[in-house]
Amino acid sequence: MSTGVVRDGTAPPEAAARQALAAELGYSETVFVDDGAEVLRPPAGGGRAAAEGPFTRVRGRAEWAPGRRTQAYRSPAEVDAPAFPAAG
């Protein structure tokens, strides 16, 4: 899942304008950063955001995405070639 991040979240201050911009960007999840030094406070709970060069990293909690599981891979090849059940 991709997330849009609007670094100048104060530019579209109204909820309707933010919804319109998120729809225009085409991301199902869009974060508007009003103050880059503050903690994110989405309805699911708080998380941290940090700028790393041209990117913004947002940390979340596993419980924010129920029904998902984490998987540790030993190599990039395992990530590139996941095992899927045969179609039948």
Instruction: For the chain, give every domain's residue range.
Output: 3-64
Is it the case that residue 1 has pLDDT exceeding 60? no
For residue 86, name the pLDDT band (cuts at 50, 70, 90).
Answer: low
Cβ–Cβ under 8 Å, residues 24 and 36: no
Is it the case that residue 85 has pLDDT exceeding 70? no
Is it the case that residue 5 has pLDDT exceeding 70? yes
Which whole number is the average pLDDT over 17-39? 83
**pTM for the predicted model, two decimal places:** 0.43
Q: Alpha-carbon distance 64 to 54, whole Å?
A: 26
Burial of 74 (C-beta count, 10 Å sphere; 0-12/13-18/19+): exposed
